[in-house]
């Protein structure tokens, strides 16, 4: 009897200790015990009432989240969507990497959009839309489309950058840093193809997929060098001089039908010009998407162009472009 009482007391004390530990655990400490996310890169789980998913609200979500990804040779959606009802949102669904929860009820106290991370798994992002009516939910989603898409894009990018840093090829990064004063993080598999003072070519090539990073450096004189017209002409000349094709008199150039797009962006304290478009090979039939980050170095002595591109004639390009784009986003000064 005494042993039984002692055993029950010990169990209660142990449970109390565990509860106290859980209550006192900081949010960051809690995350280390979370399971890893599930789902493939670029997938988004939408948790929504079936009737709303099949109506105007669902159409709004599909227009924004599954719209056409810009500057790809063939049509590809920004994200691949699949859905679950609120009642079915249990088990493995809770572990998905990207989740959009649409909560529509007249009992909602606070309407709006909320971003949270790592609620049920890591590294996870959850976008919660709360509204009293489906019409209000549609307005919230339409009015915050860039915020919603950019939040999920950034989560995907952060995962890729974390993987590049974990499995980086330090020799490649050191070589780039020695040349231009900083470098992206290149995952294992990327190798140095060419290394000169003004041009570097780092690539990962398989039978049917070529993912490349071209790095150009040229003297900075004034801010007019960061205008779209100047940069397009300059990059054309740099490609022609440094990136030959397989045939005689062939070289990398811009697609002749679709002009590249330009944006001024800021990321991790670095202001830069983003150029995004399609490349092809003069006098040949190769081509694919590219994205550039262009910025002066801290001393404003040189302009740096980080040029990510993909050649994958047998496959969709979105996944491969996101991978190399994340590499140039990982750039850091020494």
Cis peptide before 123 (omega within 30 of 0): yes
Mean pLDDT by 10 residues, the chain (334 residues): 39 36 54 94 98 97 97 97 97 98 96 97 98 97 97 98 97 97 97 97 96 98 97 98 92 97 95 98 94 97 98 96 98 93
Q: Residues near 311 by Cβ (< 8 Å), separated by ≥ 6? A: 209, 210, 212, 286, 287, 288
- Ordered by where they begin, the domains of the chain are 43-163 (3.30.379), 168-333 (3.40.1000.10)
pLDDT at residue 27, as a whole number:
58
The rounded distance, in Å, linking the Cα atoms of 126 and 296 is 36
Please report the beta strands in 122-269, taking only residues with DSSP state E, as ranges in sequence order.
Answer: 125-131, 182-183, 191-195, 199-205, 210-219, 252-254, 261-267
Counts of helices then strands in the chain (DSSP H, E): 9, 15
H/E stretch holding 173: helix 170-180
pLDDT at residue 11, as a whole number:
35
Secondary structure of residue 56 in the 3-state scheme: helix
* 16, two tokens: 């109390």
pLDDT at residue 30, as a whole number:
81
* 319, two tokens: 């996944």
Which residues are paired to 96 by β-bridges? 38
The rounded distance, in Å, linking the Cα atoms of 116 and 102 is 14
The rounded distance, in Å, linking the Cα atoms of 9 and 13 is 6
Contact 185, 157 (CB under 8 A): no
């Amino acid at each position: 009897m005494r042993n039984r009482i002692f055993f029950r007391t010990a169990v209660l004390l142990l449970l109390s200790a565990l509860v106290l530990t859980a209550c006192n655990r900081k949010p960051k400490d809690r995350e280390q015990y979370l399971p890893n996310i599930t789902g493939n890169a670029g997938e988004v789980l939408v948790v929504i009432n079936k009737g709303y998913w099949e109506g105007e609200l669902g159409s709004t979500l599909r227009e924004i989240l599954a719209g056409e990804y810009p500057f790809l040779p063939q049509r590809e959606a920004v994200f691949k969507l699949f859905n679950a009802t609120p009642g079915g949102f249990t088990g493995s669904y809770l572990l998905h990497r990207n989740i959009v929860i649409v909560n529509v009820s007249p009992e909602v106290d606070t309407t709006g959009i909320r971003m949270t991370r790592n609620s049920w798994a890591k590294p996870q992002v959850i976008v919660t839309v709360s509204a009293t009516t489906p019409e209000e939910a549609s307005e919230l989603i339409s009015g915050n489309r860039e915020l919603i898409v950019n939040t999920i894009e950034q989560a995907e990018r952060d995962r890729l950058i974390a993987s590049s840093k974990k499995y980086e090829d330090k020799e490649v990064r050191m070589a780039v840093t020695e040349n231009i004063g900083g470098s992206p993080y290149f995952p294992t598999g990327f190798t140095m193809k060419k290394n000169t003072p003004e041009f570097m070519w780092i690539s990962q090539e398989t039978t049917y997929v070529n993912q490349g990073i071209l790095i150009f450096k040229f003297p900075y004189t004034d801010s007019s060098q960061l205008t779209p017209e100047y940069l397009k002409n300059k990059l054309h000349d740099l490609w022609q001089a440094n990136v030959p094709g397989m045939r005689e008199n062939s070289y990398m150039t811009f697609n002749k039908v679709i002009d590249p797009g330009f944006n001024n962006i800021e990321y991790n304290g670095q202001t830069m010009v983003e150029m995004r478009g399609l490349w092809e090979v003069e006098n040949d039939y190769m081509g694919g998407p590219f994205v550039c980050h262009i910025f002066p170095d801290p001393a404003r002595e040189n302009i740096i162009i980080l040029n990510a591109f993909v050649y994958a004639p047998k496959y969709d390009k979105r996944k491969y472009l996101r991978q190399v784009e994340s590499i140039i986003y990982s750039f850091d000064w020494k």
